[in-house]
């Protein structure tokens, strides 16, 4: 079982290094996309075979289409790396494994041919709201003054964009674990359908639905398992999940999920120490 992790990172150099170290295995490689806004000199990342820095680097805005561009570019980097991986796992620099690498690989071997992503189907309130994200114009990737006023003017004057009726929109979570065949399909779809992909430019939160919808509308739909294998706590009802701390230690130890999201060592380093010494310890 050969596994590639794509790590999207934009901050917290020490935590990123800790994450990379926790993923080390002879049949595992980490591909890191470091946000173009970051100073790479501040990141003391290991120079070894188990790590590759992704280029080009994108200036990613939260919710912007730049996030989708960074993800697809990262998948392309893995595909062009000269190695074939059974699975590609997308995580952020603030995720952390909850079980040993060996357990994750064993799970994927047992479930070979399946791909894992979490989503809601049409009719769900989340999908209904998400349609507004892609039918209206959003200038999230721009920084100029007055961009929100311009958004309102354009969305008043220009008709809403429409997605073809034969393309079903699903989504909810950005993070996924896909096999090699699915990764090839995603990149090929983006390459061969540029006019369709342009419909998602100037949208908001397309990273939570576009790649998922591309796979759902393909011949690969039957391979999808509606589970992203992540422990994420949305109990605070905010746009971002709750930061996990030692208060979550028991739940993280008992869960069947393989990764937790999200952690912040500046808020609670003890939980990361706990995971290293307890959850990730191979017995």
What are the extents of the domains in the chain? 3-229
Give the confidence band of 283 by pLDDT, cuts at 50, 70, 90. Answer: very low
CA 188 – CA 112 distance, rounded (Å): 22
- How do residues 11-52 score in pLDDT, each as one tens digit? 999 999 999 999 999 899 999 999 999 988 888 777 677 899
In eight-state DSSP terms, residue 160 is P
Instruction: Dig out the tokens for 87 from the structure.
Output: 């699975």
Helix (H, G, I), strand (E, B) or coil at 109: helix
The reported pLDDT for the residue numbered 163 is: 87
CA 198 – CA 205 distance, rounded (Å): 15
In eight-state DSSP terms, residue 75 is H
- How do residues 163-209 score in pLDDT, each as one tens digit? 888 999 999 999 999 999 999 999 999 999 999 999 999 999 999 99
The reported pLDDT for the residue numbered 281 is: 66
Residue 129 neighbours by CB under 8 Å, 6+ apart: none
- Where b means 16+ CB within 10 Å and e means fewer, 212-222 reads bbbbbbeebee
Q: What is the pTM of this model?
A: 0.94
E strand or H helix at 176: strand 171-179
Which CATH number applies to 3-229: 3.90.550, 3.30.1760, 1.25.40, 3.40.1350?
Answer: 3.90.550
Predicted confidence (pLDDT) at residue 279 exceeds the cutoff of 80? no
- Where b means 16+ CB within 10 Å and e means fewer, 20-58 reads bebbebeebbbbbbbbeebeeeebebeeeebbbebeebb
Mean pLDDT on 233-237? 90
Helix (H, G, I), strand (E, B) or coil at 78: helix
Q: Which residue has the higher pLDDT, 40 or 115?
A: 115
CA 70 – CA 6 distance, rounded (Å): 10
Token pair 């790649």 is found at 211
Helix (H, G, I), strand (E, B) or coil at 259: strand
Mean pLDDT on 227-248? 93
φ/ψ of 52, rounded to 5, equals: -140, 135
Residue 131 neighbours by CB under 8 Å, 6+ apart: 163, 169
Counting DSSP H helices and E strands in the chain, the numbers are 10, 10
């Amino acid at each position: 079982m050969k596994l590639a992790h794509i790590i999207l990172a934009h901050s917290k150099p020490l935590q990123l290094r800790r994450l990379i170290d926790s993923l080390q295995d002879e049949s595992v490689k980490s591909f890191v996309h470091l946000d173009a806004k970051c100073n790479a000199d501040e990141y003391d990342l290991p120079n070894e075979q188990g790590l590759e820095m992704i280029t080009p680097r994108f200036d990613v805005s939260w919710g912007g289409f730049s996030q989708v561009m960074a993800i697809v570019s990262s998948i392309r980097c893995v595909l062009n790396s000269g190695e074939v991986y059974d699975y590609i796992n997308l995580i952020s620099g603030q995720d952390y494994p909850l079980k040993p690498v060996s357990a994750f690989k064993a799970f994927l071997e047992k479930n070979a041919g399946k791909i894992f992503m979490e989503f809601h189907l049409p009719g769900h309130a989340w999908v209904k709201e998400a349609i507004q994200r892609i039918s209206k114009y959003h200038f999230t990737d721009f920084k100029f003054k007055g961009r929100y006023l311009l958004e309102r003017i354009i969305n008043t004057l220009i008709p809403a964009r429409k997605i073809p009726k034969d393309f079903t929109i699903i989504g909810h979570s950005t993070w996924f674990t896909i096999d090699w065949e699915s990764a090839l399909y995603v990149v090929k779809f983006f390459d061969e359908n540029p006019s369709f992909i342009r419909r998602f430019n100037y949208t908001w939160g397309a990273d939570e639905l576009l790649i998922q919808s591309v796979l759902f509308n393909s011949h690969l739909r039957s391979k999808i398992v509606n589970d992203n294998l992540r422990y994420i706590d949305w109990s605070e009802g905010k746009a971002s999940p709750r930061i996990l701390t030692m208060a979550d230690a028991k739940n993280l130890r008992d869960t069947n999920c393989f990764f937790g999201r999200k952690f912040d060592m500046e808020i609670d380093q003890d939980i990361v120490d706990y995971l290293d010494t307890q959850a990730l310890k191979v017995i």
